[in-house]
Structure 1
Amino acid sequence: MWSSAILDELEHCEIDKYTTRDGLPLAEAETRSARLIEQLRRFFDDAEVPNWEPCDGQFDLPDRHDEHVVAAAVAGHAGAIVTDNLKDFPAEKIPHGIQVVVPREFAANTVAVSPQAALDAVSKMTRRLIDPPMSVDDILAVLRDRYEMHEAVALINDAR
Protein backbone atom coordinates (compact mmCIF):
# COMPACT_ATOMS: atom_id res chain seq x y z
CA MET A 1 0.00 0.00 0.00
CA TRP A 2 1.01 3.61 -0.49
CA SER A 3 -0.20 7.18 -0.21
CA SER A 4 -0.45 9.84 -2.87
CA ALA A 5 2.70 11.39 -1.36
CA ILE A 6 4.60 8.10 -1.72
CA LEU A 7 3.54 7.86 -5.37
CA ASP A 8 4.65 11.46 -5.96
CA GLU A 9 8.04 10.68 -4.43
CA LEU A 10 8.31 7.48 -6.48
CA GLU A 11 7.56 9.37 -9.68
CA HIS A 12 10.36 11.87 -8.99
CA CYS A 13 12.80 9.07 -8.07
CA GLU A 14 11.97 7.19 -11.26
CA ILE A 15 12.55 10.31 -13.37
CA ASP A 16 15.94 10.72 -11.71
CA LYS A 17 16.78 7.03 -12.26
CA TYR A 18 15.82 7.13 -15.93
CA THR A 19 17.82 10.28 -16.63
CA THR A 20 20.85 9.51 -14.46
CA ARG A 21 21.29 5.74 -14.64
CA ASP A 22 19.69 5.05 -18.01
CA GLY A 23 20.58 8.32 -19.78
CA LEU A 24 17.07 8.95 -21.10
CA PRO A 25 15.98 12.43 -22.14
CA LEU A 26 13.89 14.18 -19.47
CA ALA A 27 10.67 14.10 -21.51
CA GLU A 28 10.91 10.33 -22.01
CA ALA A 29 11.79 9.80 -18.34
CA GLU A 30 8.75 11.83 -17.29
CA THR A 31 6.49 9.87 -19.66
CA ARG A 32 7.75 6.50 -18.40
CA SER A 33 7.46 7.56 -14.76
CA ALA A 34 3.94 8.88 -15.22
CA ARG A 35 2.99 5.60 -16.93
CA LEU A 36 4.33 3.58 -13.99
CA ILE A 37 2.27 5.61 -11.52
CA GLU A 38 -0.82 5.28 -13.73
CA GLN A 39 -0.34 1.50 -13.91
CA LEU A 40 0.12 1.22 -10.15
CA ARG A 41 -3.11 3.13 -9.59
CA ARG A 42 -4.97 1.13 -12.24
CA PHE A 43 -3.82 -2.40 -11.37
CA PHE A 44 -3.71 -1.88 -7.61
CA ASP A 45 -6.74 0.36 -7.31
CA ASP A 46 -7.29 -0.50 -3.66
CA ALA A 47 -3.67 0.07 -2.57
CA GLU A 48 -3.73 3.86 -2.19
CA VAL A 49 -4.29 4.73 1.46
CA PRO A 50 -6.72 7.56 2.16
CA ASN A 51 -6.71 9.79 5.24
CA TRP A 52 -3.02 9.46 6.06
CA GLU A 53 -2.54 13.22 6.44
CA PRO A 54 -3.72 13.47 10.09
CA CYS A 55 -0.87 11.13 11.11
CA ASP A 56 1.78 13.03 9.15
CA GLY A 57 4.41 14.64 11.37
CA GLN A 58 3.69 12.65 14.54
CA PHE A 59 6.71 10.34 14.64
CA ASP A 60 9.75 12.59 15.15
CA LEU A 61 11.78 10.82 12.46
CA PRO A 62 15.34 11.94 11.73
CA ASP A 63 14.17 13.19 8.32
CA ARG A 64 10.82 14.95 8.60
CA HIS A 65 10.29 14.39 4.87
CA ASP A 66 9.82 10.67 5.62
CA GLU A 67 6.96 11.22 8.07
CA HIS A 68 4.36 10.67 5.32
CA VAL A 69 5.62 7.09 4.85
CA VAL A 70 4.93 6.11 8.46
CA ALA A 71 1.64 8.05 8.34
CA ALA A 72 0.54 5.93 5.35
CA ALA A 73 1.61 2.73 7.12
CA VAL A 74 -0.41 3.65 10.20
CA ALA A 75 -3.48 4.75 8.20
CA GLY A 76 -3.30 1.61 6.07
CA HIS A 77 -2.68 -0.76 9.00
CA ALA A 78 0.52 -1.98 7.34
CA GLY A 79 2.69 -4.62 8.93
CA ALA A 80 5.86 -3.37 7.26
CA ILE A 81 7.58 -0.43 5.65
CA VAL A 82 9.88 -1.59 2.84
CA THR A 83 12.89 0.68 2.36
CA ASP A 84 16.66 0.69 2.03
CA ASN A 85 16.71 3.89 4.08
CA LEU A 86 16.95 2.27 7.52
CA LYS A 87 18.75 5.18 9.18
CA ASP A 88 15.74 7.46 8.74
CA PHE A 89 13.29 4.88 10.12
CA PRO A 90 14.72 3.93 13.54
CA ALA A 91 12.77 1.16 15.28
CA GLU A 92 12.14 3.24 18.39
CA LYS A 93 10.25 5.82 16.28
CA ILE A 94 8.09 3.34 14.41
CA PRO A 95 4.70 2.44 15.91
CA HIS A 96 4.32 -1.02 17.45
CA GLY A 97 3.32 -3.69 14.95
CA ILE A 98 5.11 -2.13 11.97
CA GLN A 99 8.45 -3.59 10.90
CA VAL A 100 10.99 -1.79 8.73
CA VAL A 101 12.57 -4.20 6.24
CA VAL A 102 14.90 -3.81 3.27
CA PRO A 103 13.49 -4.81 -0.15
CA ARG A 104 15.68 -7.91 -0.51
CA GLU A 105 14.45 -9.23 2.87
CA PHE A 106 10.84 -8.44 1.97
CA ALA A 107 11.24 -10.22 -1.38
CA ALA A 108 12.82 -13.28 0.25
CA ASN A 109 10.03 -13.47 2.85
CA THR A 110 7.38 -13.10 0.16
CA VAL A 111 8.92 -15.69 -2.17
CA ALA A 112 9.43 -18.12 0.73
CA VAL A 113 5.65 -18.31 1.20
CA SER A 114 5.28 -19.82 -2.28
CA PRO A 115 8.35 -20.10 -4.50
CA GLN A 116 6.24 -21.68 -7.25
CA ALA A 117 3.85 -18.70 -7.27
CA ALA A 118 6.87 -16.38 -7.50
CA LEU A 119 8.27 -18.38 -10.42
CA ASP A 120 4.86 -18.24 -12.11
CA ALA A 121 4.77 -14.46 -11.62
CA VAL A 122 8.23 -14.02 -13.11
CA SER A 123 7.27 -16.26 -16.03
CA LYS A 124 4.16 -14.15 -16.59
CA MET A 125 6.33 -11.01 -16.62
CA THR A 126 8.39 -12.41 -19.49
CA ARG A 127 5.30 -12.52 -21.67
CA ARG A 128 4.72 -8.77 -21.13
CA LEU A 129 8.33 -7.64 -21.53
CA ILE A 130 8.83 -7.20 -25.25
CA ASP A 131 10.97 -4.05 -25.55
CA PRO A 132 13.44 -5.47 -24.83
CA PRO A 133 12.31 -9.06 -24.36
CA MET A 134 13.50 -10.74 -21.17
CA SER A 135 13.64 -14.38 -20.15
CA VAL A 136 13.10 -15.74 -16.65
CA ASP A 137 16.89 -15.96 -16.31
CA ASP A 138 17.25 -12.33 -17.43
CA ILE A 139 14.75 -11.11 -14.83
CA LEU A 140 16.32 -13.21 -12.09
CA ALA A 141 19.75 -11.84 -13.02
CA VAL A 142 18.45 -8.27 -12.62
CA LEU A 143 16.89 -9.12 -9.25
CA ARG A 144 20.14 -10.76 -8.12
CA ASP A 145 22.71 -8.38 -9.59
CA ARG A 146 21.04 -4.97 -9.47
CA TYR A 147 18.83 -5.41 -6.40
CA GLU A 148 20.88 -7.99 -4.45
CA MET A 149 17.87 -10.29 -4.01
CA HIS A 150 20.07 -13.39 -3.83
CA GLU A 151 17.86 -15.31 -1.40
CA ALA A 152 14.63 -14.67 -3.32
CA VAL A 153 16.31 -15.67 -6.60
CA ALA A 154 17.70 -18.86 -5.05
CA LEU A 155 14.23 -19.79 -3.78
CA ILE A 156 12.73 -19.20 -7.23
CA ASN A 157 15.49 -21.24 -8.90
CA ASP A 158 14.83 -24.09 -6.47
CA ALA A 159 11.19 -24.09 -7.60
CA ARG A 160 12.18 -24.71 -11.25
Structure 2
Amino acid sequence: MTQFTVVYDACVLYPAALRDFLMHLAITNLFRARWTDMIHEEWIRNVLRDRPDLTAHQLARTRQLMDENVLDCLVTGYESLIPSLSLPDLNDRHVLAAAIRCGANSIVTFNTKDFPKRSLEPFGVEAFHPDEFVLSQMCRAPSVVCSAAKRQRVNLRTPPKNVDEYLICLSQQGLLLTSNELRKYRDLI
Protein backbone atom coordinates (compact mmCIF):
# COMPACT_ATOMS: atom_id res chain seq x y z
CA MET A 1 0.00 0.00 0.00
CA THR A 2 1.25 3.48 -0.87
CA GLN A 3 1.98 5.71 2.09
CA PHE A 4 -0.20 8.81 2.54
CA THR A 5 1.75 11.69 0.99
CA VAL A 6 1.40 15.42 1.49
CA VAL A 7 3.03 18.48 -0.02
CA TYR A 8 3.71 21.28 2.44
CA ASP A 9 2.91 24.67 0.92
CA ALA A 10 5.35 27.52 1.65
CA CYS A 11 2.84 29.27 3.92
CA VAL A 12 2.97 26.42 6.47
CA LEU A 13 6.78 26.42 6.40
CA TYR A 14 7.02 30.19 6.95
CA PRO A 15 6.26 30.26 10.73
CA ALA A 16 9.25 28.73 12.53
CA ALA A 17 7.26 27.03 15.29
CA LEU A 18 4.81 25.43 12.84
CA ARG A 19 7.60 24.43 10.45
CA ASP A 20 9.44 22.79 13.34
CA PHE A 21 6.33 20.87 14.44
CA LEU A 22 5.59 19.73 10.89
CA MET A 23 9.19 18.51 10.57
CA HIS A 24 8.92 16.58 13.84
CA LEU A 25 5.76 14.98 12.45
CA ALA A 26 7.39 14.26 9.09
CA ILE A 27 10.25 12.28 10.61
CA THR A 28 7.79 9.93 12.34
CA ASN A 29 7.02 8.33 8.95
CA LEU A 30 3.31 8.45 9.78
CA PHE A 31 3.02 10.02 6.31
CA ARG A 32 5.40 11.23 3.61
CA ALA A 33 6.07 14.95 3.61
CA ARG A 34 7.25 16.50 0.35
CA TRP A 35 8.17 19.94 -0.94
CA THR A 36 10.24 21.49 -3.73
CA ASP A 37 13.15 23.85 -4.10
CA MET A 38 10.63 26.43 -5.34
CA ILE A 39 8.59 26.03 -2.13
CA HIS A 40 11.79 26.44 -0.11
CA GLU A 41 12.67 29.60 -2.04
CA GLU A 42 9.22 31.06 -1.42
CA TRP A 43 9.12 30.58 2.37
CA ILE A 44 12.75 31.67 2.76
CA ARG A 45 12.23 34.81 0.65
CA ASN A 46 9.18 35.77 2.73
CA VAL A 47 10.90 35.11 6.07
CA LEU A 48 13.91 37.21 5.03
CA ARG A 49 11.58 40.02 3.94
CA ASP A 50 9.75 40.03 7.27
CA ARG A 51 12.59 39.12 9.64
CA PRO A 52 15.65 41.35 9.07
CA ASP A 53 17.23 39.78 12.18
CA LEU A 54 17.66 36.49 10.28
CA THR A 55 20.21 35.81 7.55
CA ALA A 56 20.04 33.86 4.32
CA HIS A 57 22.81 31.65 5.72
CA GLN A 58 20.71 30.72 8.78
CA LEU A 59 17.71 29.80 6.66
CA ALA A 60 19.88 27.89 4.19
CA ARG A 61 21.01 25.79 7.16
CA THR A 62 17.36 25.20 8.15
CA ARG A 63 16.60 24.19 4.57
CA GLN A 64 19.55 21.79 4.53
CA LEU A 65 18.46 20.18 7.81
CA MET A 66 14.91 19.74 6.50
CA ASP A 67 16.14 18.10 3.31
CA GLU A 68 18.58 15.84 5.16
CA ASN A 69 16.17 14.67 7.86
CA VAL A 70 12.99 13.98 5.90
CA LEU A 71 13.49 11.00 3.62
CA ASP A 72 12.92 11.66 -0.10
CA CYS A 73 11.31 15.05 0.57
CA LEU A 74 12.26 16.95 -2.58
CA VAL A 75 9.94 16.69 -5.57
CA THR A 76 11.56 17.29 -8.94
CA GLY A 77 10.41 17.06 -12.54
CA TYR A 78 7.08 18.82 -11.96
CA GLU A 79 7.81 22.04 -13.84
CA SER A 80 6.39 20.90 -17.20
CA LEU A 81 2.98 20.40 -15.55
CA ILE A 82 2.66 24.00 -14.32
CA PRO A 83 1.40 25.70 -17.53
CA SER A 84 -1.48 23.24 -17.95
CA LEU A 85 -2.88 23.79 -14.44
CA SER A 86 -5.59 26.22 -13.46
CA LEU A 87 -5.87 27.72 -9.97
CA PRO A 88 -7.26 31.05 -8.70
CA ASP A 89 -3.71 32.22 -7.98
CA LEU A 90 -1.47 31.24 -10.88
CA ASN A 91 1.55 31.48 -8.57
CA ASP A 92 0.27 28.42 -6.67
CA ARG A 93 0.30 26.10 -9.68
CA HIS A 94 3.80 24.85 -8.84
CA VAL A 95 2.47 23.40 -5.56
CA LEU A 96 -0.27 21.45 -7.33
CA ALA A 97 2.21 20.37 -10.02
CA ALA A 98 4.51 18.99 -7.32
CA ALA A 99 1.59 17.18 -5.68
CA ILE A 100 0.62 15.58 -8.99
CA ARG A 101 4.21 14.59 -9.82
CA CYS A 102 4.81 12.85 -6.48
CA GLY A 103 1.33 11.31 -6.24
CA ALA A 104 0.42 13.29 -3.13
CA ASN A 105 -2.96 12.81 -1.52
CA SER A 106 -3.02 16.29 0.00
CA ILE A 107 -1.59 19.77 0.02
CA VAL A 108 -1.18 21.21 3.52
CA THR A 109 -1.82 24.95 3.29
CA PHE A 110 -3.40 27.86 5.10
CA ASN A 111 -4.68 29.03 1.70
CA THR A 112 -7.26 26.32 1.05
CA LYS A 113 -9.40 28.76 -0.96
CA ASP A 114 -6.55 29.01 -3.47
CA PHE A 115 -6.77 25.25 -4.04
CA PRO A 116 -10.46 24.67 -4.85
CA LYS A 117 -11.80 21.14 -4.87
CA ARG A 118 -12.83 21.38 -8.53
CA SER A 119 -9.21 22.09 -9.53
CA LEU A 120 -7.67 19.39 -7.35
CA GLU A 121 -10.22 16.58 -7.61
CA PRO A 122 -9.25 15.45 -11.14
CA PHE A 123 -5.77 14.70 -9.77
CA GLY A 124 -6.92 12.94 -6.61
CA VAL A 125 -5.54 15.71 -4.42
CA GLU A 126 -7.20 17.57 -1.53
CA ALA A 127 -6.15 20.74 0.28
CA PHE A 128 -6.13 20.74 4.06
CA HIS A 129 -5.53 23.47 6.60
CA PRO A 130 -2.61 22.37 8.80
CA ASP A 131 -4.93 22.12 11.80
CA GLU A 132 -7.22 19.69 9.94
CA PHE A 133 -4.24 17.73 8.71
CA VAL A 134 -2.56 17.34 12.11
CA LEU A 135 -5.89 16.50 13.74
CA SER A 136 -6.42 13.74 11.16
CA GLN A 137 -3.01 12.35 12.07
CA MET A 138 -4.01 12.51 15.76
CA CYS A 139 -7.04 10.37 14.95
CA ARG A 140 -4.84 7.83 13.13
CA ALA A 141 -1.99 7.63 15.64
CA PRO A 142 -2.32 9.83 18.73
CA SER A 143 0.76 8.39 20.42
CA VAL A 144 2.94 9.18 17.38
CA VAL A 145 1.71 12.78 17.19
CA CYS A 146 2.13 13.19 20.96
CA SER A 147 5.66 11.86 20.72
CA ALA A 148 6.48 14.37 17.97
CA ALA A 149 4.95 17.18 20.03
CA LYS A 150 6.96 16.14 23.07
CA ARG A 151 10.20 16.04 21.06
CA GLN A 152 9.55 19.53 19.79
CA ARG A 153 8.57 20.88 23.22
CA VAL A 154 11.61 19.49 25.06
CA ASN A 155 13.91 20.86 22.35
CA LEU A 156 12.58 24.38 22.89
CA ARG A 157 15.16 26.13 25.02
CA THR A 158 14.86 29.82 24.24
CA PRO A 159 12.75 29.94 26.27
CA PRO A 160 11.80 26.44 27.44
CA LYS A 161 8.05 25.80 27.48
CA ASN A 162 5.89 23.80 29.84
CA VAL A 163 2.97 21.86 28.35
CA ASP A 164 0.46 24.70 28.70
CA GLU A 165 2.82 27.25 27.13
CA TYR A 166 3.57 24.82 24.33
CA LEU A 167 -0.13 24.24 23.59
CA ILE A 168 -0.70 28.01 23.53
CA CYS A 169 2.16 28.27 21.02
CA LEU A 170 0.49 25.67 18.78
CA SER A 171 -2.81 27.57 19.03
CA GLN A 172 -1.03 30.75 17.99
CA GLN A 173 0.23 28.89 14.91
CA GLY A 174 -3.37 28.23 13.85
CA LEU A 175 -3.56 24.73 15.33
CA LEU A 176 -6.53 25.38 17.63
CA LEU A 177 -8.23 22.00 17.22
CA THR A 178 -4.92 20.18 17.45
CA SER A 179 -4.00 22.05 20.61
CA ASN A 180 -7.34 21.17 22.20
CA GLU A 181 -6.94 17.51 21.24
CA LEU A 182 -3.36 17.38 22.53
CA ARG A 183 -4.58 18.80 25.85
CA LYS A 184 -6.27 15.42 26.43
CA TYR A 185 -2.84 13.79 26.21
CA ARG A 186 -0.92 16.41 28.21
CA ASP A 187 0.92 13.74 30.24
CA LEU A 188 2.45 12.44 27.00
CA ILE A 189 3.77 15.80 25.83
**TM-score, with structure 1 as normaliser:** 0.84
After superposition, the C-alpha distances for 1:44-70 in whole angstroms (9 at most, x for unaligned) are 141111211121222121222111000
Unmatched segments (≥5 aa) in structure 1: none
Contact 1:61 1:90 in 2 (8 A): yes
2:46 is the counterpart of 1:13: yes
- Indicate the percent of aligned positions where both proteins have the same amino acid: 26
Q: 1:106 aligns with which of 110, 133, 154?
A: 133
| Alignment pair present for 1:53 and 2:86 | no
- Structure 2 residue identity aligned to 1:33: L
Structure of higher CA gyration radius: 1
- Given candidates 92, 103, 127, the residue that maps to 2:154 is 127
Partner SS, residue 40 of structure 1: helix
Q: Structure 2: any 5+ residue segments left out of the alignment?
A: 1-33
Tell me the amino acid that sits aligned with residue 137 of structure 1. D
The question of whether the paired residues in 1 share the 8 Å contact of 2:100 and 2:123 is answered with: no
> What letter is aligned with 1:15?
L
Q: What's the RMSD between the two structures over aligned residues?
A: 1.8
Q: Distance in 2 between matches of 1:61 and 1:102?
A: 17
Greater length-normalized contact order (CA 8 Å, ≥ 6 residues apart): 2
* Deviations, residues 18-55 of structure 1 (Å, cap 9, x unaligned): x2xxxx52xx2434322221211111141111211121
The structure-2 alpha-carbon separation of the partners of 1:41 and 1:116, relative to structure 1 and needing over 3 Å to count, comes to same
Q: Distance in 2 between matches of 1:149 and 1:44?
A: 22
- 1:83 maps to a residue whose letter is T
2:163 partner amino acid:
V
What are the residue-to-residue correspondences of 1:65-144 with 2, within 5 Å?
A: 65-94=91-120, 95-144=122-171
**Which residue identity lines up with residue 79 of structure 1 in the other structure?**
N
Structure 1 match to 2:20: none
**Runs in 1 of length 4+ with deviation above 6 angstroms?**
none
* 1:40 corresponds to 2:73: no
